[in-house]
């Protein structure tokens, strides 16, 4: 079938090389147009994300196609020959199909189970269709990949567990409160991890965000990003009484939230639940806070334990995903092997259609005496008889194609029925 896939990803190329390749290949229209013009490339799709750059193509000659595609990446990718040799992977036919299925199903992602990659593959395919760069093989292959991805997502638990510290914090909050709609969150510090957790919390319905930071301007900046409210760091203790969830990530050398502050806040909150996520190193929240009733405290180690357990679970689910991919590869391969007999089958059916139309016209005077309904019944009868006659030969052709022995049967059918086919 001469399907080839070449590329590099987070496993084979460090970020500084991926950045250079991405910067030199950031014009999808131009890149795809140039790939289409490479001699021997019949169909092509170009995929570029922050973690991978890949070209999927059908070529008329495997060796020449790989050589020309590698040369294209070398000349346009801002890479040396040594870097290309070290980072580039090349897959052919079944291996290329399996890799595509794994990518679409997020089994090859940096964060296994993440949903973004499927959307990126769909966007790349949509673009190659718009550019008329795909044909019968890639069209079928990509639609099959989307089906595989759906099966993996629905039949396994690969996406069902948090595998980042920030998302794990959100999942814990949902378990503790039952729901997050209407809850108030306080961010202490403006670090990246607390910001990521805040984004997840907002997505899950947190309605009010307060931000406290020693540098008040930074608190104002993040408050603008989240449509929240900046509060003075000096008013931290007073602010705690208003919030349900605290995410703290500062660089303070000692505890900035202690037991008396939380006890006082709970009293004024009438002992409503409070959830504290301390992702600072060294810790921001005194460990004694965990002993207070109606308070849940998790630090970075607690969250990492949850993440590690979830990653292990996803790995187990990934094995199920690999099994689904193996099943679907058989299905795609079965479809692919029937393609060689398709022109003969199409030509055979065209000829029988012409014969039926000709015979209906030859007996036109008799047919005209029939009602329109009866004429249609006669035609349906003729088509049905022909279909039954052709059923066994066509089935045999398809079976022989799957066994790799269709050529003599195709030649015999072509000669016996005096067929002509379009390649």
Span 307-313, average pLDDT: 80
pTM comes to 0.64
Mark out the alpha helices in 77-226 (DSSP H runs).
Answer: 81-87, 94-104, 116-130, 136-155, 165-177, 192-203, 216-225
Residue at a domain's end among 159, 179, 203: 159
Token readout for 152 is 């993996």
Indicate if 21 and 145 belong to the same structural domain: yes
CATH number of the domain that residue 174 is part of: 3.40.50.720
Are 55 and 69 a contacting pair, CB within 8 Å? yes
Q: Is residue 273 part of a domain?
A: yes
- Is pLDDT at 423 greater than 80 in this prediction? no
Domain that holds residue 59: 3-159
Of the candidates 364, 396, 401, the one whose C-alpha atom is nearest the C-alpha of residue 379 is 364
Instruction: Tell me phi and psi for residue 274, to 5 degrees.
Output: -135, 135
Residue 47, domain CATH: 3.30.460.30
Kindly list the distances between the CA atom of residue 87 and the CA atoms of 26, 227, 318, 328, in Å, as whole numbers in the listed order: 19, 43, 25, 29
Mean pLDDT (whole number) for 201-218: 88
pLDDT digits (tens, 9 = 90+) for 134-160: 998 999 999 999 999 999 999 998 877
Could you write out the DSSP letters of every residue in 250-282? ---SS-SB-HHHHHHHHHHTTT--EEEEE--SS
Task: State residue 200's pLDDT score.
Answer: 81
Q: Are residues 23 and 114 in the same domain?
A: yes
Residues 7 and 149 grouped into a single domain: yes
In a domain, 82, yes or no: yes
**Cα dihedral value 38, 39, 45, 50, nearest 10:** -40
Q: Nearest CA to 47 among 95, 99, 111?
A: 99
What 8-state DSSP symbol labels residue 369? T
Domain count, the chain: 3
Among 159, 193, 214, the domain boundary falls at 159
Same domain, 301 and 361: no
Residue 32 lies in a domain: yes
Domain contains 328: no
**What are φ and ψ of residue 257, in 5° steps?**
-125, 120
Q: Is residue 79 part of a domain?
A: yes
Most confident of the following: 6-15, 91-100, 370-379 = 91-100
pLDDT, mean of residues 282-304: 91
The b/e string for 353-366 (b: 16+ C-beta within 10 A; e otherwise) is eeeeeeeeeeeeee
Q: Which pLDDT belongs to residue 24? A: 52
Domain ends where: 105, 126, 159? 159
Looking at the structure, do residues 288 and 395 belong to the same domain, yes or no?
no
Query: What's the half-sphere exposure (Cβ side, CA atoms, 13 Å) at 332?
Result: 29
Backbone angles phi, psi at 69, to 5 degrees: -70, -40
63 and 138 inside one domain: yes
pLDDT at 158: 83
Please check whether residues 155 and 178 belong to one and the same domain. Answer: no
> For residue 413, what pLDDT band results from cuts at 50, 70 and 90?
confident
Asked if pLDDT for residue 345 goes beyond 70, the answer is yes
350 and 395 inside one domain:
yes
Residues 95, 184, single domain; the answer is no
Confidence of residue 103 (pLDDT cuts 50, 70, 90): very high
Shared domain for 75 and 122, answered yes or no, is yes
pLDDT of residue 22: 64
Look up residue 315 and give its two tokens.
């790995």
Q: What is the pLDDT of residue 17?
A: 79
Q: Is the pLDDT of residue 58 over 90?
A: yes
Average pLDDT, the chain: 86
Residues in the chain: 423
- Looking at per-residue pLDDT, the higher value among 51 and 89 belongs to 89
153 in the same domain as 105: yes
Q: Which residue from 127, 115, 249 is spatially nearest to 192, judged by alpha carbons?
A: 249
pLDDT at position 163, please? Answer: 67
Segment 365-374 mean pLDDT:
82
272 φ/ψ angles, rounded to the nearest 5 degrees: -65, 150
| C-alpha to C-alpha distance for 302 and 277, rounded to whole angstroms | 10
Tell me which residues are annotated as active site: 50
**Sign of CA pseudo-dihedral 305, 311, 315, 317:** positive
Contact 240, 262 (CB under 8 A): yes
Same domain, 142 and 82: yes
pLDDT above 60 for 162: no
| 136-155 helix and 94-104 helix, angle to the nearest 10 degrees | 50
Does a structural domain hold residue 85? Answer: yes
Residues 6+ apart with CB under 8 A from 220: 230
Domain assignment of residue 98, yes or no: yes
**pLDDT digit string (tens) for 379-394?**
889 889 988 998 888 8
Rg of the chain taking only CA atoms, in angstroms? 31
- Which token pair is 301? 């180690």
């Amino acid at each position: 079938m001469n399907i080839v896939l070449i590329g590099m990803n987070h496993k084979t190329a460090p970020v500084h090389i991926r950045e250079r390749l991405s910067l030199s290949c950031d014009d999808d229209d131009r890149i795809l147009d140039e790939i289409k013009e490479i001699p021997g490339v019949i169909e092509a799709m170009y995929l570029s994300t922050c973690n991978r750059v890949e070209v999927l193509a059908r070529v008329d000659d495997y060796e020449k196609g790989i050589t020309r595609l590698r040369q294209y990446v070398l000349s346009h990718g801002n890479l040396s020959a040594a870097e290309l040799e070290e980072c580039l992977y090349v897959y052919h036919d079944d291996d290329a199909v399996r890799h595509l299925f794994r990518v679409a199903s997020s089994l090859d992602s940096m964060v296994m189970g993440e949903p973004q990659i499927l959307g990126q593959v769909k966007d790349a395919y949509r673009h190659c269709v718009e550019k008329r760069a795909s044909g019968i093989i890639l069209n079928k292959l990509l639609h099959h990949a989307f089906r595989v991805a759906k099966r993996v997502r629905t039949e396994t638990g690969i996406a069902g567990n948090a595998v980042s510290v920030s998302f794990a914090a959100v999942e814990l909050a949902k378990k503790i409160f039952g729901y997050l709609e209407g809850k108030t969150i306080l961010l202490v510090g403006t670090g990246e991890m607390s910001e990521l957790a805040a984004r997840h919390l907002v997505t899950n319905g947190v309605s009010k965000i307060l931000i406290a930071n020693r540098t008040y301007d930074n608190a104002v900046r993040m408050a603008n990003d989240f449509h929240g409210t900046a509060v003075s760091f000096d008013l931290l203790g007073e602010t705690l009484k208003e919030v349900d969830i605290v995410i703290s990530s500062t660089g303070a050398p000692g505890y900035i939230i202690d037991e008396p502050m939380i006890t006082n806040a709970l009293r004024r909150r009438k002992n409503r639940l409070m959830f504290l996520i301390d992702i600072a190193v060294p810790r921001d929240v005194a460990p004694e806070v965990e002993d207070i009733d109606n308070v849940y405290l998790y630090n970075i180690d607690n969250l990492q334990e949850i993440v590690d357990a979830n990653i292990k679970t996803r790995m187990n689910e990934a094995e199920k995903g690999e099994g689904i991919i193996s099943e679907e590869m058989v299905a795609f391969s079965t479809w692919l092997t029937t393609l060689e007999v398709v022109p003969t089958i199409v030509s055979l059916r065209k000829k029988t259609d012409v014969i039926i139309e000709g015979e209906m016209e030859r007996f036109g005077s008799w047919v005209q005496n029939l009602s329109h309904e009866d004429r249609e019944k006669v035609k349906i009868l003729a088509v049905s008889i022909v279909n039954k006659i052709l059923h066994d030969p066509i089935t045999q052709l398809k079976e022989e194609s799957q066994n790799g022995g269709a050529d003599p049967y195709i030649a015999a059918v072509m000669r016996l029925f005096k067929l002509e086919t379009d390649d």
